[in-house]
A and B are shown apart, each in its own frame.
Chain A
């Protein structure tokens, strides 16, 4: 039983990739924010709308 419980706590192989993906998404969000701010200052980031 104890071994089973221990096994249950071991996350599946996909889990680490899932968590990494979540962190990557947060990085993407920050990049978009930086890009929008850059565009608000310079107006040059809007290709092809510029």
Chain B
């Protein structure tokens, strides 16, 4: 079949965008669902968290499956299964069953690593940054587009939305199978499929302090991004109920539209500014900027470590600002803080993956699976903290102080070595091929 790499990029991007749309459609309709089933704030936190339960292990498995069977078949299966269950959830009237079905639909979130692998099989090194930026940014913003548009298109009819999204997923799955090609040539494909699973290399990467630090950095950025995707609609609907009502949004449908619009800013900023973050990491590298104490200054990629550390500090500050704006009841200030938080999250996500191939040049796949997969666990924990306190607003401050500050301190500690940070880890284990 005659195809072109741009066609493959478009297929992967559309598939990933739709997966993100399905993944966070539950969150976009959380006010409707809460109204219909009488859910408490804690129950909304659990619903938001449940969207992420399948991500950590699912992403690691999906990466291996894509290598073994090819991205088109893997992606089509993900879209097909999630599409069918999404349609089924549109006919469900029991909340427990709906909850279970939406957890299954959330498997769509694992598609990220499949598309990353697909794009990497088609583009050369000198284009891969832009290609992956287009794929990841455009796909990730599916969450924001869903929060912004789904309540406007479907109103309270979340069931109709789930059915429509499921049908769309089946159509895209068929398209992916029809036009998708796993790699640009047989040699590339065979080399990937035959790549033996090296468990010694996996243990080596997983036990390195700097890999753990990057995983925590990604949990602070991407983990937080997906947690907020599933949480913010509920947060604005409940936490700023009086302010939103004062603005004239008095019905459940109106509150849903307003809450979705306010929450969408985070997704748009975090997703679409991610390539800019990679550009900033490159700028730090070119200029040789190493302004922070403790963090290594002489490593070849030291400026990139400093850029990521700055991003992590900014995330902590933005989380505290978001909590303060919420406690003060200042809706516009809260949105400005959220815009800043989204931007800083993009700095963190882009900054982390600008470092992964440099720190683990011989095992980028294993490192990406560990860092990109396990970090999603953060997205499971954060909504529970956001919803668990006496005040919805203080959840951001608790998360920043009790989780993020220790994460940042660990990053500084792990990134202090002036020679080969990857040599330092738990035990003296080292794979033969390293």
Contacts and interface: CB of A to CB of B under 8 A. Distances in A.
A8 B126 CA distance: 8
A33 B248 contact: no
Given A25-B137, A49-B256, A50-B249, A33 B265 contact: yes
B131 interface: yes
B247 A26 contact: no
Contact of A29 (B133, B247, B254, B268): B268
Interface in A3-50: 8-9, 11-12, 14-15, 18-19, 21-22, 25-26, 28-29, 32-33, 35-37, 39-50
A22 B133 contact: yes
Contacts of A35: 261
Contact of B258 (A21, A25, A33, A46): A46
B127 interface: yes
B130 interface: yes
Nearest to B4: A14
Given A49-B152, A49-B254, A49-B256, A43 B249 contact: yes
Interface stretch (B193-201, B207-215, B272-280): B272-280
Contacts of A37: 332, 335-336, 339
Contacts of A48: 152, 155, 257
B331 interface: yes
Contacts of A41: 332
Contacts of B332: 37, 40-41
A45 B262 CA distance: 11
B261 A29 contact: no
A46 B254 contact: yes
Given A29-B268, A36-B265, A40-B331, A49 B258 contact: yes
B104 interface: no
Interface string B110-151: 000000000000001011001101100110010010001001
Contacts of B148: 32
Interface residues on A, range: 20 to 34
A36 B262 contact: yes
Provide the main secondary structure of the chain B interface. helix
A17 to B, nearest CB: 9
A49 B137 CA distance: 28
B19 interface: no
Contacts of A40: 247, 262, 331-332, 335
Contact of A26 (B155, B255, B273): B273
Among B124, B131, B247, residue most surrounded by chain A Cβ atoms (within 10 Å) = B247
Contacts of B6: 14
Contact of A39 (B127, B134, B261): B261
Nearest to B279: A22
A15 B127 contact: yes
B141 A25 contact: yes
Contact of B335 (A11, A19, A36, A42): A36
B88 interface: no
Contact of A36 (B130, B264, B273, B275): B264
B94 interface: no
B151 A49 contact: yes
A32 B254 CA distance: 18
Contacts of A19: 130
Nearest to A32: B268
B269 interface: yes
Contacts of A46: 247-249, 254, 257-258, 261
11 contacts: A22-B137, A22-B275, A26-B276, A32-B148, A32-B264, A32-B268, A37-B336, A40-B247, A40-B332, A40-B335, A46-B258
Interface of A: 8-9, 11-12, 14-15, 18-19, 21-22, 25-26, 28-29, 32-33, 35-37, 39-50
Which 5 pairs show the lowest CB-CB distances between chains A and B?
Answer: A49-B257, A43-B247, A49-B254, A29-B272, A29-B268
